[in-house]
Structure 1
């Protein structure tokens, strides 16, 4: 639907005659739509397609002089690179996003610095990761003293990044604490995010030998899972099944395993 809207509605408007301010605004709107479509493609594991949408979003944002969408897209590409394990590219893209937005407000600064911290931690650059995390935390404190923007980078997202940095630097216990805090701070409507990040939390609880906690967290994941449509969420449920399968002699693990298989086949 997003692609059809792009072809049938946005492209004809971009070809229409208009004053320069109107044309710049149309380019910016098109760039934002391309970024969102790329994000949806990434969420469905169509990573090559997502990259093509992202590259076109960068092109239109540059032509429109839309620094917000330009930086957001670069950051989105860094998130994708981290997810795919392309560490050096993730670091480079996160740094580029930050450099392209020298006058960002505090919430945008936290949004960019949090991703810089995650990418640096995956690259085993402890000093850079902690420095970026400190920048994000200070910026978030400033942002939270102002009016909040719905759906923008928030304390829950920052706690998630703290958890990711801790995990990449070898602190599993600290990572679990940060992800638990992120879940407590998260808006209840953010089901897709809850599925992905609580599944990640459960995996780390299981890794730390906290089986009952992990099973309980995975139970919350499966409560939310039927209400989302996401390839990345599907992957998390498959991972749940593969992790728990060897322990199905335990009744709790067996019930969780069977429930996950049933939901995945829906």
Structure 2
């Protein structure tokens, strides 16, 4: 018996799509070729496998059993191919990544570039947006993994892994009234000019949450905390920085903790629950390793 793998593929497609024309369109082959190969398979097996009488092609009783066996055979072949690809260190497919502007905490573009160079069979894409937008895209199945801010808490409908979690400090010149304080409360910034991270940044989300009742004026913004510090040193406003820079001391700048104990600048790697493609899983592993 000479049964070809592509004949089984064509038969399954015809049954799934309910017709030869639709199956041919999906398979991107000529419709007469699909019909001829299914006919050849029927002659080889000695049974009609599909009922062509109605508007929608349906499997015969024998055809239904053959289709079930064909599905198993096609799945087994796909599994063999994946095993060989894994053993060869090859990945194929797509990996869709999102990120908030995160400063120096995780170099997502660098990780993605290195991954793409090591796995040329994977098509990688990167979207930069706010945490809310990225979270929505994860839930809609439009992203595989994203670096998002979680100042207000970690979304419980997504799988998340922590990247960083910090409290906030403010930076001012030594002659500023806040320079000698042990801590600064959000009310101390009422009416003050502030140089803050760009909107969508995890640190900015935390700052906005802490200072929601306060009328601060954001006069400048940047994604790099070092740039914010330089702007504050030049007198453009009070800089909002992560606590990892709390040891910053110079003749130009003094840092003071921002007293907002319930607010933390959190960054997490988030992804949908459930199974993911091997390419998406590999990109996620690379991002987790780079934390």
**TM-score if structure 2 supplies the norm length?**
0.18
Structure (1/2) with the larger helix percentage: 1
Structure of greater Rg = 2
- Say which structure is richer in strand: 2
Report 1 or 2 for greater relative contact order, CA contacts < 8 Å, sequence distance ≥ 6.
Answer: 2
Q: TM-score, normalised by structure 1?
A: 0.20
